[in-house]
């Protein structure tokens, strides 16, 4: 998606995708909170950026730690995809609110929201990429999975053996920056930063900054069940926050006052 965006603006540009396996991709038998939180998905990629083995790093924005190294910067984001979570089940099977029904997720936030919606279900940790998780579902290890709707859509997951139910934002508030693709570069690389600024979606970037500021204010990491979602309409930003899947707080303000709005809502949590 990033390569396509660049080529649409600069047809002459040549791109090469460099796959990098991170610590988070390798250690699949422990919850994220036990192996280092969000940074485990980006450290090796940022090292490659510093060593100039790559020119830009492409991340799922919700995997980014609150603090970015001083020599690096998120220079652009693509237009936000679907921010919602999705419940994936085997085709023909309905969600049952009972202990024998097991939902797989590694997210503390998703666990709390699912237990709020379905108090009796069993919730169990799961790691691995989307294909691996779906295989575990089809093998009967889980009765349902909670995954990011944007991830399923971008991967083009099509399988007649699964059903996907997208969860309403009001019932299951997404993680901050869910559905956003962030593009990181070296701060002093003005040429690359120039390319990236041309593909940056400004509304999404404002929401990205605001939701990350909320994370910073709350000391957010993988072990915090924080939900946050913002969208922009007519130069106003509308924010919804929740903590521990409790009643959400909401507000809106002009986009230029987004940080003050975030501060006020965090105090209300």
CATH number at residue 139: 3.40.190.10
Do residues 19 and 130 share a domain?
A: no
Tell me the pLDDT of the chain averaged across its residues: 91
Domain hosting 92: range is 85-166
Q: Are residues 257 and 190 in the same domain?
A: yes
- Determine the Cα–Cα distance for residues 170 and 174; give it in Å rounded to an integer: 9
Helix (H) or strand (E) holding 238: strand 236-243
154 shares a domain with 201? no
Q: In this predicted structure, which of 19-23, 233-237, 254-258 has the lowest mean pLDDT? A: 19-23
Quick one: average pLDDT of 103-128?
93
146 is a domain residue: yes
Examine the domain organization and report whether 162 and 186 are in the same domain: no
pLDDT band at 193 (very low <50, low <70, confident <90, very high): very high
Sheet-wide strand order for 249-254 = 226-233, 236-243, 249-254
Predicted local distance difference test score (pLDDT) of residue 35: 45
Do both 262 and 183 map to the same domain? yes
Report helix, strand or coil for 128: coil
- The answer as to whether 171 is a domain residue is no
- Give the pLDDT score at 157: 86
Judgement on whether residues 181 and 264 belong to the same structural domain of the protein: yes
Position 221 confidence tier, pLDDT thresholds 50, 70, 90: low
Same domain, 112 and 57: no
Residues 118 and 14 in one domain: no
**For residues 175, 20, 40 and 215, what is the CA-based torsion angle, rounded to 10 degrees?**
-30
* Cα dihedral value 195, 198, 202, 205, nearest 10: -20
Q: Which residues contact 101 (CB under 8 A, 6 or more apart)?
A: 95, 118, 120, 121, 122, 143, 144
| Mean local confidence (pLDDT), 106-119 | 92
> pLDDT tens across 38-82, in order?
566 788 999 999 999 999 999 999 989 888 999 999 999 999 999
d(C-alpha 54, C-alpha 67), whole Å: 21
- Cα separations in angstroms, 214 against 99, 230, 242, 259, 263: 35, 11, 11, 8, 7
pTM for the model? 0.89
94 and 77 in one domain? no
- Residue 225's pLDDT is 84
Please answer whether residues 181 and 59 qualify as being in contact, where contact means their C-beta atoms are separated by less than 8 angstroms: yes
Domain limit, last residue, from 166, 196, 219:
166
191 pLDDT higher than 80: yes
Q: Cα–Cα distances in Å, from 137 out to 23, 90, 141, 234?
A: 24, 7, 6, 42
Please check whether residues 182 and 260 belong to one and the same domain: yes
pLDDT value of residue 244: 78
Annotated catalytic sites, by residue?
Answer: 63
Domain-ending residue, one of 146, 166, 186: 166
Instruction: Please check the confidence at residue 32 and state whether its pLDDT lies above 80.
Output: no
Q: Does 136 map to a domain?
A: yes
Looking at residue 222, what is its pLDDT?
Answer: 58
Instruction: For residues 215 and 228, give the distance between their C-alpha atoms in angstroms, rounded to a whole number.
Output: 9
Listed residues 166, 191, 207: the one ending a domain = 166
Read off the pLDDT of each residue in 146-162 and give the average, rounded to a whole number: 92
**pLDDT of 247 over the 80 cut:** no
pLDDT over 70 at 214, yes or no: yes
Within this chain, do residues 76 and 124 fall inside the same structural domain, yes or no?
A: no
Q: Is residue 225 assigned to a domain?
A: yes
**How far is 134 from 139, CA to CA, in rounded Å?**
8
Gap between the Cα atoms of 244 and 115, Å rounded: 11
Residues 180 and 136 in one domain: no
Q: How many domains does the chain have?
A: 2
CA distance 45 to 149: 24
Whether 212 is in a domain gets the answer: yes
Residue 7 φ/ψ, nearest 5 degrees: -70, -30
């Amino acid at each position: 998606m990033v390569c396509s965006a660049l080529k649409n603006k600069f047809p002459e540009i040549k791109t090469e995708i460099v796959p990098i396996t991170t610590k988070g991709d390798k250690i699949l038998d422990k919850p994220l909170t036990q192996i280092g939180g969000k940074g485990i998905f980006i450290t090796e990629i940022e090292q490659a950026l510093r060593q100039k083995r790559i020119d830009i790093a492409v991340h799922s924005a919700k995997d980014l730690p609150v603090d970015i190294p001083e020599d690096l910067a998120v220079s652009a984001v693509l237009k936000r995809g679907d921010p919602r979570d999705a419940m994936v089940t085997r085709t023909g099977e309905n969600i049952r609110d009972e202990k024998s029904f097991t939902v797989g997720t590694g997210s503390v936030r998703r666990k709390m929201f699912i237990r709020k919606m379905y108090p009796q279900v069993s919730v169990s940790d799961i790691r691995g990429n989307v294909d691996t998780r779906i295989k575990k579902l089809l093998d009967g290890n889980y009765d349902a999975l909670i995954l990011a709707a944007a991830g399923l859509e971008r991967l083009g997951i099509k399988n007649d053996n699964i059903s996907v139910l997208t969860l309403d934002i009001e019932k299951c508030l997404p993680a901050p920056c869910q559905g956003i693709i962030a593009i990181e570069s070296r701060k002093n690389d003005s040429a690359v930063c120039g390319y990236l600024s041309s593909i940056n979606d400004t509304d999404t970037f404002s929401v990205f900054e605001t939701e990350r500021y909320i994370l910073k204010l709350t000391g957010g990491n993988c072990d915090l069940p924080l939900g946050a979602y913002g969208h922009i309409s007519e130069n106003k930003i509308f924010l919804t926050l929740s903590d521990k899947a409790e009643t959400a707080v909401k507000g809106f303000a002009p986009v230029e006052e987004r940080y003050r709005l975030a501060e006020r809502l965090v105090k209300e949590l």
